[in-house]
Amino acid sequence: MSDSKKYASRGVSADKSEVHEAIKHLDKGLFPLAFCKVLPDIVGGDSSYCNIMHADTAGTKTSLAYLYWKETGDINVWKGVVQDSIVMNLDDMGCVGCVDDIVLSSTIGRNKNLIPGEVLKVIIGYTQEFCEMLHDFGIGVYLAGGETADVGDIVRTIDIGFTTFARMDKSKLIVNDIQDGHVIVGLSSHGKSSYESDYNGGMGSNGLTSARHDVFDKSYRDKYPESFDDNSPRELMYCGSKFLTDTIAIDGFGDIPVGKLVLSPTRTYLPVIQKLISHKIPVSGMIHCTGGAQTKVMKFVKNKRIIKDLKRPLAPLFQLLEEESGTDRKEMYQVFNMGHRLEVYSPRTEAQSIIDIASSFGIEAQIIGHVEDADKTEVVIHDEKGTYVY
């Protein structure tokens, strides 16, 4: 079975083609190439302002968190999933320059028979704690309550989602205007930033269905049938060789359990973006490499060839994913961020300033490619194994 067919058989899509087909005729807002949909100022009625609203979840990462919690008793694993869901909203908004005065609301659906109140207490409590951490960096995120529902008939374990809203001065928007000759600065998704307490494997919140079933042992298939869709082919559930508590040695950080490595909370880049904005660093665009991973940028440019040179060693987590899944490299770049999850596009003269700001937070950054005019939009990736065209 091909990698794409295997992914689809598990009930998910790397490129969300059906979703994009369903929404292709919807209005794309004031700036179609902006990373988030930008609306007129419906709330305030001021033509010089705009409204931005976003909604996202942690996806199937909650299923892996459920397994890890059941196997280890570590209830704090749920904090990471809260961060995953919040960051998937906030960092998308950050890509249009929105880094302050953001209202946050939660939507949590749980199976009460499997997810007790003590888990909800951790989830709701850490939501406040994470927002307070962002406040320390001058990023105002304000809780507006939410909905927590017991919906065991439709949710197997738990689904954790957030919605964000902001009213923003149009003059402060970053609208993608990525130009010929501009370079791409990639910000690492792994390592340990100055505002993280532990090593981050770099997984983010995309590709978790593939990672969970390709990496972890088949014993979890029988032990936790509630953790996957029983309409999916059973032989594709938990096909890997690893147990959640098996460890991998990470240079400088010791042995880390594989389950914890895959569950590393999605790193937020908002402190970096906020500093780029406050230092008035000219950028032509920012791409949060989420759904579609290294091909995500294709949705935000026209008639451009995005050339990426990724000839560098893979981070340990992505080496593991490749080895366990047997997925070909071209597919890997469409499913996983593969080591960097934020791309900043700019004139070459600005690249070092971007790198220095990222480095001030302990985040590795480097020029990983450039942009050319083209007759059609495409992404070309070069690495040590070959060249891949999308």
Do 69 and 90 lie in one domain? The reply is yes
Q: 19-28, 91-100, 294-303, 313-322: which has the minimum mean pLDDT?
A: 19-28
Do 275 and 232 lie in one domain? The reply is no
CA-wise closest residue to 53 among 162, 154, 147: 162
Residue 3 binned pLDDT confidence (cut-offs 50, 70, 90): low
> With 0-12 CB in 10 A as exposed, 13-18 as middle and 19+ as buried, what is 170?
middle
Q: What is the C-alpha to C-alpha distance for residues 79 and 60, in angstroms, rounded to an integer?
A: 15
> Is the Cβ–Cβ distance between 8 and 238 less than 8 Å?
no
- What's the mean pLDDT in 150-167? 97
Supply the pLDDT for residue 56. 97
- Assign residue 235 a region (left: φ > 0; alpha: ψ between -120 and 50; beta: otherwise): alpha
Do 17 and 98 lie in one domain? The reply is yes
Do 146 and 247 lie in one domain? The reply is no
pLDDT at 19 over 90: no
Do 72 and 162 lie in one domain? The reply is yes
The total of structural domains in the chain comes to 2
Supply the pLDDT for residue 24. 73
Tell me the pairing of strands 378-383 and 254-257: unpaired
Dihedral sign for Cα 199, 202, 205, 209, please: negative
CA-wise closest residue to 160 among 230, 92, 264, 80: 80
Domain boundary among 262, 288, 306: 262
| Alpha-carbon distances, residue 136 vs 100, 107, 320, 322, 382 (angstroms) | 12, 25, 35, 37, 39
User: Domain for residue 24, yes or no?
Assistant: yes
Count of beta carbons in the 10 Å neighbourhood of residue 223: 14
User: Domain for residue 141, yes or no?
Assistant: yes
User: Domain for residue 151, yes or no?
Assistant: yes
User: Domain for residue 156, yes or no?
Assistant: yes
Do 253 and 183 lie in one domain? The reply is no
Structural domain boundaries enclosing 228: 208-262
- The mean pLDDT value of the chain amounts to 95
User: Domain for residue 47, yes or no?
Assistant: yes
**What's the pLDDT tens digit per position in 123-142?**
999 999 999 999 999 999 99
Do 243 and 119 lie in one domain? The reply is no
pLDDT at 118 over 80: yes
User: Domain for residue 268, yes or no?
Assistant: yes
Supply the pLDDT for residue 202. 98
pLDDT above 90: percentage of residues in the chain: 92
Do 228 and 294 lie in one domain? The reply is no
Supply the pLDDT for residue 162. 98
Q: What is the C-alpha to C-alpha distance for residues 155 and 29, in angstroms, rounded to an integer?
A: 32
Domain boundary among 262, 277, 297: 262
Supply the pLDDT for residue 23. 73
Domain boundary among 246, 262, 278: 262
**What's the pLDDT tens digit per position in 334-371?**
999 999 999 999 999 999 999 999 999 999 999 999 99
Do 163 and 45 lie in one domain? The reply is yes
User: Domain for residue 305, yes or no?
Assistant: yes
Residue 10 binned pLDDT confidence (cut-offs 50, 70, 90): low
**What's the pLDDT tens digit per position in 226-271?**
999 989 999 999 999 999 999 999 999 999 999 999 999 999 999 9
Do 357 and 267 lie in one domain? The reply is yes
Supply the pLDDT for residue 21. 73
pTM for the model: 0.94
Do 7 and 155 lie in one domain? The reply is yes
Supply the pLDDT for residue 15. 60
Q: What is the C-alpha to C-alpha distance for residues 334 and 329, in angstroms, rounded to an integer?
A: 9
| Alpha-carbon distances, residue 354 vs 112, 214, 301, 306, 343 (angstroms) | 46, 36, 21, 19, 11
In angstroms, how far is the first alpha carbon of the chain from the final one?
21
Supply the pLDDT for residue 209. 95
Q: What is the C-alpha to C-alpha distance for residues 61 and 203, in angstroms, rounded to an integer?
A: 10
User: Domain for residue 203, yes or no?
Assistant: no
